[in-house]
């Protein structure tokens, strides 16, 4: 369900908005929010609900890993976009699951006219890290 209405979105965002994502704000265009669903160190897998305001998207980035690694996105509310470098963007709606292999350059975020949330699952692996890259240009984003 595409919506710019924050109150309506909050009613369907079942995993909650969380706190403003200030720690990673420099890697986003617009405001995002983070609601951790697991506690780091208590599980081998970290899960968090990430919420994007309309027009918000993260920078191009790569989940690096020697083996294993990558990320899984489970879309839960609103509508967004996912795009791998050199490929067409994929529309994201609740129920859509995206598997992002390690070492693939990509970005994800809200559509220009909708709030969006997904659960981000960090896939365990060997020698994992995130490499944050350049912002997604307005030309790429607004032409979707």
Write out pLDDT tens, residues 76-120.
Answer: 999 999 999 999 999 999 999 999 999 999 999 999 999 999 999
Is 0.85 topped by the overall pTM? yes
Contact 17, 10 (CB under 8 A): yes
pLDDT at 1 over 90: no
User: Residue 71: what pLDDT?
Assistant: 98
pLDDT more than 70, % of the chain: 100
Return mean pLDDT, the chain.
Answer: 97
Per-residue pLDDT band for 41 (boundaries 50, 70, 90) equals confident
Candidates 39, 137, 41, 123; CA nearest to 85 is: 137
DSSP 63-82: EE-SEE--EEEEEEEE-EEE
Per-residue pLDDT band for 44 (boundaries 50, 70, 90) equals confident
- For the chain, domains (ranges, CATH) are 6-142 (2.60.120.10)
């Amino acid at each position: 369900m595409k919506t710019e209405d924050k109150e309506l979105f909050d009613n369907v965002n079942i995993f909650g908005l969380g706190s403003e994502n200030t720690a990673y704000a420099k890697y986003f265009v617009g405001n995002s929010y983070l609601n951790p669903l697991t506690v780091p160190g208590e599980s081998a897998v970290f899960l968090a609900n990430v919420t994007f305001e309309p027009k918000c998207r993260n920078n191009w980035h790569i989940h690096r890993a020697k083996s294993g690694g990558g990320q899984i996105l489970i879309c839960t509310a609103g509508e967004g976009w996912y795009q791998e470098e050199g490929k067409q963007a994929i529309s994201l709606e609740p129920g859509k699951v995206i598997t992002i292999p390690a070492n693939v350059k990509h970005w994800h975020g809200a559509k220009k006219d909708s709030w969006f949330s997904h659960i981000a699952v960090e896939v365990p692996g060997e020698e994992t890290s995130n490499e944050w890259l350049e912002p997604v240009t307005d030309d790429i984003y607004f032409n979707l």
